[in-house]
Structure 1
Amino acid sequence: MNVAELPKIELHLHHEGAAPPAFIRQLAHEKRVDLSGIFKSNGSYDFRDFSHFLNVYEAACQVLNSPEDFRRLTLAILEESAENGVIYSETFLSPDFCGGGDLSAWKDYLSAIQDAAEEAERKFEITLRGVVTCVRHFGPEQSKRSAYCAAETAGDWITGFGMGGNESVGAQADYKWAFDCAREAGLQLTTHAGEFGGPESVRDAIRHLGVERIGHGVRAIEDPDLVHELIDRGITLEVCPGSNVVLGLYPEFDSHPIAKLRDAGVKVTVSTDDPPFFHTTMRREYEMLHQAFGWDAEDFAALNNTALEAAFCDDATREKVKKRLEKQ
């Protein structure tokens, strides 16, 4: 069996970061906004390093400024994901980019995104759930506004809360209020750590924010005690190998620690992060992991089971996705 054709579950996907370049260029054309500086001559996104990537990301978001824009974007993302075999996805949504942190505006954006998700489920048999994220480099005070938006819209569709952005800004503990607010609203928690911040950032996320999942987390491999702690606590890592390679954490898939973490007993999953930026898809992630580590259909089935168990969704949704996995 071609492993790339297997059904897939993805838990770490930034909504704006999944915007196809052609989609952003079309919106820019419609709105007469000059974004030519963020694209290469071949039409792909152009950035030098992680810091520049964040700048390009936010520049692309300039043309995503209405609920209708996000409705169209959601359909484009889910069609692309479904074409790559994804049957369940969780997307990171930031109220900062969807209404500027204003609750009323956030609800309008969210309604449009959910409408598109329902349409995509009918058309493409892919289920989407939303994880609200604050943006770390926007600061702790702004994170409180995002957490409030998350808490006020928590339910069957907005099921989690997390944090993305630049890990070099502040400390995990600075955002404790936002995570406590989200937890009290019944949301499950994740945060980016162990990418550029090193293993100590993972430990800080666990101890100060009480998260159930870690976005990336791969630098934990550098600290054996931390690896044991992840195992003991049952924390799941949302690993994005292709992203890590493109951003220079590891020179190639062969040297990525996902296999060592998995062999040690850490719960790992596979996602694309910001797929068009990092020239990847879920299909490519599977292909590269198969080539690098010899993972077969049984390995990927186990990976999907881990992801399904860690998914921020209710039991009815989990059962629906499970049946979809079994059918394929």
Structure 2
Amino acid sequence: MTLKEQPKIELHLHLEGAAPPAFIRGLAAEKREDISGIFDEGGGYAWRDFRHFLRVYEAATSVLRSPEDYRRLTLAVLEESAAHGVIYSETFLSPDFCGGRDVTAWRDYLAAIEDAAAEAEAKMGITLRAIITPIRHFGPEKSRDVAICAAETAGRFVTGFGIAGDEMICEPKDFAWAFDCAREAGLGLTAHAGEWRGPQHIRDTLAALAPSRIGHGVRAIEDLALVDELAERGTVLEVCPGSNISLGIYRDWRKHPIGQLYDRGVKVTVSTDDPPFFHTTMTREWDRLADAFDWDQGVFDTLNRTALDAAFCDRDTKEKLAKRLEPRA
């Protein structure tokens, strides 16, 4: 079995951020929208830094305007993920982009996405679950509406709640109401932290929001006491090395702290974040990590088991996935 074919679990994937550039260009052409400025000469997404990345991301998302658009997007994204051996994926979805935080409109978008997920599971063997996320830089008040959308649709497909966007905007405690609402609805909790801000931001996020997982969390390495605390608590980090390197947080793969975090007992997982923006895939992530840290199949098996244990899905789904992760004779 090739590295590409090996089964993989991915916990940190933004649906719009995983949109193939060709898909977005085609959708823009159908709608007669000129968003050519967000692409480079090779047809990929063009951005300069994180703030500009967010603007390009939102420009690409602007052509996604209907439940049918999101149904098609979901199929395109899952086809790409499945081609790289992903058998289970959790994707961030935001009612900010899907129906303007109106619960009725949100249900329509969600139904289309879930329909596409069911089709992909039947045809491609990949299972999808949704983590509902307010956008941090849209503000705390809007996050409450997003949390209500999440709570109203919590169930087999909507299994998690998180927060994404510009880490420099607002503080974790500003989103406590939204997280409490999601927690009461029985949703698993994760939060982006420790990507652009340092260890204290991770501590503040854990204290204010009490998530079981942290999106990124790599800046914890700057405070080894925090690293040991994360290991002791069993907090799972959704690490996206290719994203961190592409955005310039770390210079290269060997300088990335995932190796140190793993060695110190932190539960780390590997994901692609926004793969076409960062020119990565799950295959590439595994390949580069194996090269950078001499990780063998045993390490990647551990990463998969950690991700499956931390996944926001029901027991039956986990049992089925566990069987697919068993080594083949």
Normalised by the shorter chain, which TM-score bucket?
Answer: over 0.9
What is the one-letter code of the residue matched to 2:200? E
Paired residues of 1:3 and 1:290 also in contact (CA < 8 A): no
AA partner of residue 30 (structure 1): E
Is the partner of 1:113 in helix, strand or coil? helix
Within 1, Cα distance between the matches of 2:327 and 2:74? 26
1:150 aligns with 2:150: yes
Q: What are the residue-to-residue correspondences of 1:85-124 with 2, within 5 Å?
A: 85-124=85-124
Structure 1 CA distance, aligned partners of 2:3 and 2:27? Answer: 35
Task: Give secondary structure in 2 for the equivalent of 1:63.
Answer: coil
Partner of 1:171: 171
**1:201 Cα offset (Å):** 0.9
State the 1:283 CA deviation.
Answer: 0.4
1:137 and 2:120 aligned: no
Matched, 1:276 2:276: yes
The AA in structure 1 aligned to 2:117 is A
Structure 2 distance, partners of 1:255, 1:164, is 25
SS in 1 for 2:326: helix
What's 2:202 paired with?
202
1:261 counterpart residue number: 261
User: Secondary structure of the residue that 1:237 maps to in structure 2?
Assistant: strand
Query: Which deviations, in whole Å up to 9, do the C-alpha atoms of 1:131-188 show, x marking residues without a partner?
Result: 0001000000000011000000001110000000000101011100000000000001
Closer/same/farther in 2, CA of residues 327 and 113 from structure 1, 3 Å limit: farther
**Counterparts of 1:99 and 1:15, CA distance in 2:** 15
Correspondence for 2:41 = 41
User: 1:3·1:297 contact (CA, 8 Å) conserved in 2?
Assistant: no
Measure, in 2, the Cα distance between the counterparts of 1:154 and 1:111: 13
> What corresponds to 1:77 in structure 2?
77
Distance in 1 between residues matched to 2:186 and 2:95, nearest whole Å: 18
Q: Distance in 2 between matches of 1:154 and 1:233?
A: 26
Matches within 5 A, 1:287-326: 287-326=287-326
Q: Deviations over 1:106-147 (max 9, x none)?
A: 000000000000000011000000000010000000000110
Taking only aligned residues, the RMSD between alpha carbons, in angstroms, comes to 0.9
Question: Residues 213-263 of structure 1: CA distance to partner in whole angstroms, max 9, x if unpaired?
Answer: 000000001101111111121100000000000000100001000010000
Worse-matched range after superposition: 302-311 or 3-12: 3-12
Shift of 1:12: 0.1
What is aligned with 1:234? Answer: 234
Q: What percentage of residue pairs aligned between the two structures are identical?
A: 66
TM-score (norm 2): 0.98
Letter in 1 for 2:49: D
Structure 1 stretches lacking a partner, 5+ long: none
Q: Which residue of structure 1 aligns with residue 286 of structure 2?
A: 286
State the shift of 1:301 in Å: 0.6
Cα deviation digits, residues 62-104 of structure 1 (max 9, x gap): 1101000000000000000000000000000000010010100
SS of 1:3's equivalent? coil
Please tell me the residue identity of whatever aligns with 2:326.
Answer: E
1:32 aligned onto 2:32? yes
Matched residue SS, 1:43: coil
Kept after mapping to 2: 8 A contact 1:3/1:296? no
Contact residue 130 and residue 158 of structure 1 kept, 8 A:
yes
TM superposition shift of 1:29: 0.2
Shift of residue 2 of structure 1?
4.4
CA contact (8 A) 1:172 1:209 kept: yes
Return the alpha-carbon distance in structure 2 between the equivalents of residues 199 and 184 of structure 1: 28
1:318 partner amino acid: K
Distance of 2:69 and 2:201 partners within structure 1: 35
Aligned residue type for 1:94:
S
5+ unaligned residues in a row in structure 2: which ranges?
Answer: none
1:11 equivalenced with 2:11 (yes/no): yes
* 1:3, distance to aligned residue in structure 2 (A): 3.5
Distance 1:137 1:165 in 2: 6
* SS of corresponding position for 2:134: strand
Count of residues in correspondence between the two structures = 328
Whole-angstrom distance in 2 between the partners of 1:3 and 1:201: 35
Q: Residue 41 of structure 1 aligns to a residue in which SS?
A: coil
CA deviations 1:307-328 (Å, max 9, x no partner) are 0000001100100111111165
